Amino acid sequence: MKVDNTFIANLRADYLAATLSTKDVDKNPFLQFEKWFQEAVSANLHQPNAMTLATASKSGQPSARIVLLKDYNEKGFVFFTNFQSKKGQELEENPQAALVFLWLELQRQLRIEGSVERVSTEEANAYFKSRPKGSQISAYASPQSEVVQNRAVLERNVEALEKKYEGEDGLPLPEFWGGFRIVPTFIEFWQGRSSRLHDRIAYQKQGDGSWKIERLAP
């Protein structure tokens, strides 16, 4: 089959929305993240907390997928998952990860790299209890990343759990489910600029705990 994809090479846009310099950003990268994240929320972007999570196996084979940021502070950036999923297993084998936020409407991208740790059971339980009951049931019903014969298998699991927990407000925290926190050592704020001469301001964690701020070439 012959496919003409030459049009793809001509898909491009010029970015004129804003600028970014080392003088503009906060000295604390978490406060700078807070500023950009709240601007994404205020712009009514669809799921501004959606982020690409990149992990790697023990042998170095990378994989990536979209997850949702559910908490952040100066400790790091948190998402929740099944520990037995592919990403869960990879993070246990190789506790390093990268995150990417793309806020295209604001012509912004944000990259985070760092080590990974599990959040406490108390944190995971508090978040799990805040989820709708249907989402709690799905966490139990789906053997995440495993091969299933068909969707009917999952639907039968859901029906059985709905019957088991009928009349209950919620389900208990599964032993196989919880949160991971990416503890950053590198954070980059990317602002699109005209003719591909983008602004890239990077924070690199230093040995004394401070952050070094530098401009990177686009």
The CATH number given to whatever domain includes residue 122 is: 2.30.110.10
Q: How far does Cα 126 stand from its chain's mean position?
A: 19
Residue 107 lies in a domain: yes
Contacts of 105 (CB under 8 A, 6+ apart): 43, 45
Distance CA 62, CA 96 (A): 11
Sequence length of the chain is 218
Residue 142 lies in a domain: no
- Say what the pLDDT of residue 215 is: 98
Residue 143 lies in a domain: no
Note the pTM of the prediction, 2 decimals.
Answer: 0.94
- Say what the pLDDT of residue 5 is: 86
Query: The domain containing residue 33 runs over which residues?
Result: 10-131+175-216
Residue 180 lies in a domain: yes
For 40-56, what is each residue's pLDDT tens digit? 999 999 999 999 999 99
Residue 38 lies in a domain: yes
The active-site residue out of 65, 156, 196, 215 is: 196
Pairing of strands 62-68, 71-73: unpaired
Residue 5 lies in a domain: no
Distance CA 79, CA 181 (A): 7
Q: In one letter, which amino acid is 179?
A: G
Residue 99 lies in a domain: yes
Catalytic status, residue 196 = yes
Pairing of strands 50-56, 211-216: unpaired
Residue 211 lies in a domain: yes
Distance CA 115, CA 94 (A): 9
Q: How far does Cα 163 stand from its chain's mean position?
A: 33
| pLDDT greater than 90 at residue 13 | yes
| pLDDT greater than 80 at residue 79 | yes
- Say what the pLDDT of residue 187 is: 98
Give SS3 for 204.
strand
Domain count, the chain: 1
- Say what the pLDDT of residue 86 is: 97
